[in-house]
Amino acid sequence: MNGSVMVVVATDAPLDHRQLKRVAKRVSLGLARTGFYGSNGSGDFFIAFSTAAIIPHEPDQIALKNTVMTNEASSPLFLATVEATEEAVINSLLKAKTIIGRDGNIKEAIDIQELIRVLNKYNAIN
């Protein structure tokens, strides 16, 4: 099955554009944990932004200073990005509802009780 994935990562960590690009790259690791591999026709798009920098509407000075995290402090943020991405995919699958689309096409929601039965059968639940 082909399709595209769009992921937006928002953080209040003080990161610059280069660090945000590094965070966005970790999204693919979280997707891979769910079985996503990025097929040929997949047009995946990952972006990240930070709300940490406060830019005044009418600044008193011509140059502004921003504080950013050190690269050494990035690993926990990378892990959080991977885990949040994985959890978002799983939540979207388990909370989806059956829908009827164009021309009467039906996409059934996952039967959670059946999923639990299969996971138990293969000892996949801790």
For the stretch 26-37, pLDDT in tens is 999 999 999 998
Query: What is the per-residue pLDDT across 43-73, written as a single tens digit (0 to 9) for each?
Result: 899 999 999 998 889 988 898 888 999 999 9
Q: What is the tens place of the pLDDT at every residue in 79-123?
A: 999 999 999 999 999 999 999 999 999 999 999 999 999 999 999
Is 50 an annotated catalytic residue? Answer: no
Q: How confident is the model at residue 78 (pLDDT cuts 50, 70, 90)?
A: very high
Q: Does the annotation mark 28 as catalytic?
A: no
Identified catalytic residue from 4, 39, 92, 111:
4
Q: How far apart are CA 52 and CA 88, in angstroms?
A: 23
Domain ranges, ordered by start, for the chain? 6-95
Coil vs helix vs strand at 17: helix
* Domain 6-95: assigned CATH number: 3.30.2330
- What is the pTM assigned to this prediction? 0.83
42 tagged catalytic: yes
